Chain A
């Protein structure tokens, strides 16, 4: 067994810097999400109380979003290579029903990320990119006055739709982490068990352990 883990019994999946980045993005996502939902529909307007009222929520939301996106960009660059499409992805998706049904073990030779994780990654990349671009366009009082009202109207719809998509992806992301036991610790303590790795990410397991099985 190659010494890639912090201890013999566990495999290192995320370095401390990656964990820190992930949680900075997560906190930013939650704050931007809660403040954004406040403007999304009147039933969520009470969330402005968390940020010091409607005016403060309007002021803080774009700053939070831009800071989060900066951290997210670094995260994307560090995780990009492992999220490029691979042959195993199609195979993984063909077994999606069985996987979600918790009926059988997938036979796809999954690397560090399976097809579903990659999908969440790319959906997040695209939706957050759309959010930050349209968000800057809508940003008052700084940038919005530079744009015509038709562009603002389009931007506000794209912003809302992208936020909806990103939130759905976040629900999938968080639930998958809770549902697949032994996953959350990868982002909190950095490590996963050998069993977990060999079962869910066999190709990655072989790579990091040098194991032939």
Chain B
């Protein structure tokens, strides 16, 4: 962040860490699908399922995050990915 004019200009690392946390929220949703699938009629139970719906509809988590979360490509490995600071400590995605 630029401390001279106090304008929030978050570092790439902070945005990437937040994106990783956001990915965690989405992944929790996709795990919810697997759990619910095993439970048959319980499939539609749980608000967290809403996170997983795009994934269930055919998006990969990666596609969904890149569409939905600005900066997601930082943790999901694009040509300008995060090699300069290594794997994400929040979720292990690098």
A and B physically associate: no
Give the A-binding residues of B (Cβ under 8 A).
Answer: none
Interface, chain A (partner B; CB < 8 A): none
